[in-house]
Structure formats: C-alpha cells, structure tokens
C-alpha cells in the first residue's frame, strides 16, 4: 500500500468545515480592511526565496524543498507567501497603480521540518501584504486585521507580542555589542545558537532552548540602540493600537526568523497550543521590494498558520450544511422514479442523496438515519402508480404526501416550514 508522505496531511471531510470557517472568516475580514485576493504560484525559482528570506535563516539553510527542473533551473516549493507576492507586485508593475496595494492570499506552503503536532511539511497559511505606505498606521491596520480575525474565530488565550527591530543601520550598530556578549557565553548556548553568533546573532534571542534563554537574559538590548526615527515610528504604532483597543505586550526578544523585517515585528501566540505556540506573525519589510529589483516600497504584512487555527477552533464551530433529503426509491418503478426525483431536487437547489441500493424501505430509512438526512423521500411502485411520493421528517416521523408533477416546489416549501 502506498502511503502519504510524512508531515503531509490529508484534510478529511469531517475537518473541512472547520477549514472553511477559518478561510471564510479570514477572507471576510481581509475584504473589510480593503485587501484583495492574489493567487501566486506554488513554485518559483530558488533565487527568489534565497534572496528575500535570507541565506542564514532556518528556512533557507535547511527547510526548503528544492529540485532541479528538467532544463537544470533550480526550483523551490514556496516556504511562505511574501516572496512570491512581492515578485508578482514588481513583475506586474503594480506600483504604477494607486497605493497602497493591499493583497491577501491563502494556500499550501512547504518546509522540510521535523513533523510534530502543529508542525508539518506541507502546511497552510493565510497572509496579507500591504505595499506602499510607510505611515505607522499601515502597521496598525495589518495588526488590527489579524487581531479582529482571530478574535472573531474565538480562538482561546491569545497574546499579541510586539517588538521594534529598528532600521538596518540600528541593527548594524547593535550587532557588535550582541556578538561580543554572546561570544563570552558561547559554551552555554545550544549548537544552533553557536552557529548563529556570526551568521544571524539576533536569532539567538529568539531561541526556545532554556539554557539559551537564561544565557541571554542580561544581553544588551536592541531597544537601546534604536534611532530617534525608529523609536518614533514604534511609539505611534503602540499609541494607535491603544487608541483602537488592541491589547499587546512588548517582547524585546521577538526577532523574526526571516531577514527582511524592520521596525514593527509581531507575533500572536496562544497558551492553548502547546509547544508550537505561534498562531501567526508578521512585520514591516521596507527593503524587500527594492532588494528584489522593484522600486523603493515600504510594506507590511503577516501570515497565520491554518492548521494551528484549526487545532484551536472550538469543536462546535463547524458544519453548516443545509438540510438533506434522502431519496428512498424501491421496487423497479420506484427506483427509476427515485433516480429522476434525485436529479430534480438537486436542480432545484435541494441537497439530495441516496445509496443506489435496491433495498427494502426499511433498509433505506436506516441508511437515511445513518447519513443524518433530515428527510426521506419515499417512492415505491405504489407511489409511482398514484403519481406521488411521501416526504418523511426523519426526526418527528411526520409524513406528507407530495405529487411527482410538482415535486421540487412542494419539497422546497415543506423544507422551509420545518
Ligand atoms: P515557528 O516559530 O512555529 O517555526 P515561524 O517563525 O517559522 O514559526 P512563520 O514563517 O512566521 O513561522 O509562519 C507564520 C505561521 O505559519 C506560524 O506562526 C505558524 O502558525 C505557521 N507555520 C509555520 N511553519 C509551520 C509548519 N511547519 N507547520 C504548520 N504551521 C506552520
Ligand atoms: Mg519555523
């Protein structure tokens, strides 16, 4: 038997209503905030991700699904959605259109990680990107959208953490101080962090390993190296968040794994998620469009993990399918009339099912119960002779006669009354 790939999950029919609820809620809020859907490819040339995400990040170092195309081009399955969206923005010269250009996307992402609860190799994200506005209120708009959307889904015990990464020059000023501090404590750091000291020292602050956290407790803070301009931007973001009633907590350790962030960076976590506690994250990335060959374009965005939202969604918050009619056609003529009735009901917009077995009425009704149909439409040979059928409410067991000549309109109005 051929099995699915490790860390790559099937989303079965019992789970898809939760997924749809999440996707529909996310979409609805994104549209309310003026974002438009974009659909970008699942694979791109490797250089796009390598250049935008950054060579010394976990994703580019060890998580990308990269392969050679038949002509030798190096191709990568997208590990996130920002790079492709930025490429499309540049390639289609969207900067010529009125700014801001605000996009949202949803779909599968691919990272070669160690699979565990909430960490998959094919997973799904919903994300937004807002291009063209440097004003701190653009950051707030994106954070507000994320917060309203997650709150609407009633996901439990969420916290919005936020930090200021400053401008590249601020981080350059800070870096030698941090590196010097880390070098003194090199032995106490985990293997990953030891490598990060030179490659990407800020990431050490973000490490979840307890010894690393303890070792960096007294590390110099980026906040003390920030320029006046960076402080002012962040101050406005916090002020506006307060003004619209979005609660946050400052986390000076929050440094995102991707190189392209600057200034505002944020993450929403939940204590109900266990070890993989991040629901979604984002931030400002003013240099990325230019890095990828586009015009200077300030930008800000976020991405949330759909699997993690689905894990947190209260169980009751799911299925919303309309009432269904089970068509119980039996006997030669009854079966044939049943098949016509099935099609007629569907064409009239009524959800109709059957199992196509030519069983007895009793076995049909048992099947209707098993499929949780709200109604059964009973058509045996006798009914065909009379030109009628019986609509049975499976719960109350109340039965009503309907005429085959006006089947769908009669069934429709009976469904509306029940
Ligand atoms: P983490 O710290 O959990 O590795 P990350 O910083 O790699 O997260 P991002 O790249 O910011 O995550 O992606 C945003 C969101 O996408 C995460 O908050 C998480 O909900 C989800 N996500 C990321 N990687 C995975 C994965 N391998 N499986 C499932 N969801 C994921
Ligand atoms: Mg990760």
What does the alpha-carbon distance between residue 335 and residue 339 come to, in Å, rounded to a whole number? 6
What does the alpha-carbon distance between residue 303 and residue 125 come to, in Å, rounded to a whole number? 6
User: Best substitution site from 149, 265, 303, 307 to test ligand 1's pocket, by max atoms within 8 Å of Cβ?
Assistant: 303
What does the alpha-carbon distance between residue 153 and residue 215 come to, in Å, rounded to a whole number? 38
How do residues 352-369 score in pLDDT, each as one tens digit?
999 998 789 999 999 999
Torsion angle defined by CA atoms of residues 269, 31, 18 and 148, in that order, rounded to the nearest 10 degrees: 30
The pLDDT value given to residue 319: 59
The pLDDT value given to residue 316: 60
The pLDDT value given to residue 348: 96
Closest CA to 103 of 91, 90, 86, 78: 86
Take atom 5 of ligand 1 and give the residue whose Cα is closest.
Answer: 257
- Structure tokens belonging to residue 109: 């992402």
390, with CB counted inside 10 A (0-12, 13-18, 19+), is: middle
Nearest atom in ligand 1 to 80's CA: 10
Q: In what order do the strands lie in the sheet with 351-353?
A: 351-353, 324-329, 375-379, 388-393, 399-403
The pLDDT value given to residue 345: 97
Nearest atom in ligand 1 to 304's CA: 15
The number of beta carbons lying within 10 Å of the beta carbon of residue 165 is: 23
CA dist 252 → 165, 175, 282 (Å): 9, 15, 15
The pLDDT value given to residue 417: 78
91, with CB counted inside 10 A (0-12, 13-18, 19+), is: exposed
The pLDDT value given to residue 317: 53
Residues in the chain, overall count: 418
The pLDDT value given to residue 332: 94
- Pocket-forming residues, ligand 1, beta carbon under 6 Å: 80, 111, 113, 118-120, 123, 125, 257, 276, 278-281, 303-305, 307-308
Bridge partners, residue 75, by sequence: 45, 67
The pLDDT value given to residue 323: 77
What does the alpha-carbon distance between residue 269 and residue 249 come to, in Å, rounded to a whole number? 11
Residues in the chain with pLDDT values less than 70: 257-258, 315-322
Q: φ, ψ for residue 195 (rounded to 5)?
A: -70, -35
| Residue 100, preceding peptide bond in cis (omega within 30° of 0) | yes
Residues 6+ away with beta carbon under 8 Å from 415: 323, 325, 350, 374, 375
Tell me the domains of the chain and their CATH numbers.
16-167+227-316 (3.30.930.10), 322-413 (3.40.50.800)
The pLDDT value given to residue 257: 65
The pLDDT value given to residue 387: 97
The pLDDT value given to residue 208: 85
The pLDDT value given to residue 58: 85
């Amino acid at each position: 038997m051929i099995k699915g790939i490790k860390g790559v999950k099937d989303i079965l029919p019992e789970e898809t209503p939760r997924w749809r609820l999440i996707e529909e809620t996310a979409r609805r809020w994104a549209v309310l905030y003026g974002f438009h859907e974009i659909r970008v490819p699942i694979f791109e040339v490797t250089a796009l991700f390598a250049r935008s995400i950054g060579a010394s990040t976990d994703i580019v170092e060890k998580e990308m699904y990269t392969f050679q195309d038949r002509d030798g081009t190096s191709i990568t399955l997208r590990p996130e959605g920002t790079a492709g969206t930025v490429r499309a923005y540049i390639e289609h010269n969207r900067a010529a259109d009125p700014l801001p250009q605000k996009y949202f996307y949803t779909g599968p992402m691919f990272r070669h990680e160690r699979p565990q609860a909430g960490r998959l190799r094919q997973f799904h994200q919903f994300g937004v990107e807002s291009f063209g506005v440097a004003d701190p209120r653009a950051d707030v708009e994106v954070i507000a959208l994320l917060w309203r959307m997650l709150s609407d889904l009633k996901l439990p015990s969420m916290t919005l953490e936020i930090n200021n990464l400053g401008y590249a020059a601020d981080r350059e000023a800070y870096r030698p101080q941090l590196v010097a501090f880390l070098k003194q404590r090199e032995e106490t750091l985990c293997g990953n962090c030891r490598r990060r000291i030179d490659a990407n020292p800020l990431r050490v602050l973000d490490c979840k390993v307890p010894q690393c956290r303890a070792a960096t407790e007294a590390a110099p803070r980026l906040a003390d190296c920030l320029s006046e301009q960076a402080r002012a931007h962040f101050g406005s973001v916090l002020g506006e968040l307060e003004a619209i009633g979005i609660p946050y907590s400052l986390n000076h350790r929050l440094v995102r794994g991707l190189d392209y962030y600057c200034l505002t960076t944020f993450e929403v976590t939940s204590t109900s998620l266990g070890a993989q506690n991040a629901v979604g994250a984002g931030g400002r990335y003013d240099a990325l469009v230019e890095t990828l060959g586009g015009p200077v374009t300030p930008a800000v965005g976020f991405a949330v993990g759909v699997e993690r939202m689905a894990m947190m969604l209260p169980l009751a918050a799911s299925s919303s399918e309309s009432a269904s009619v089970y068509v119980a056609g039996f006997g030669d003529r009854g079966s044939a009339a049943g098949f016509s009735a099935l099609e007629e009901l569907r064409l009239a917009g009524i959800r109709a099912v059957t199992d196509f077995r030519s069983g007895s009425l009793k076995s049909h009704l048992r099947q209707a119960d098993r499929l949780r149909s709200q109604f059964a439409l009973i058509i045996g040979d006798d009914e065909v002779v009379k030109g009628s059928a019986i609509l049975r409410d499976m719960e109350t067991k109340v039965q009503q006669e309907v005429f085959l000549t006006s089947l769908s309109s009669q069934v429709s109005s009976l469904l509306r009354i029940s």
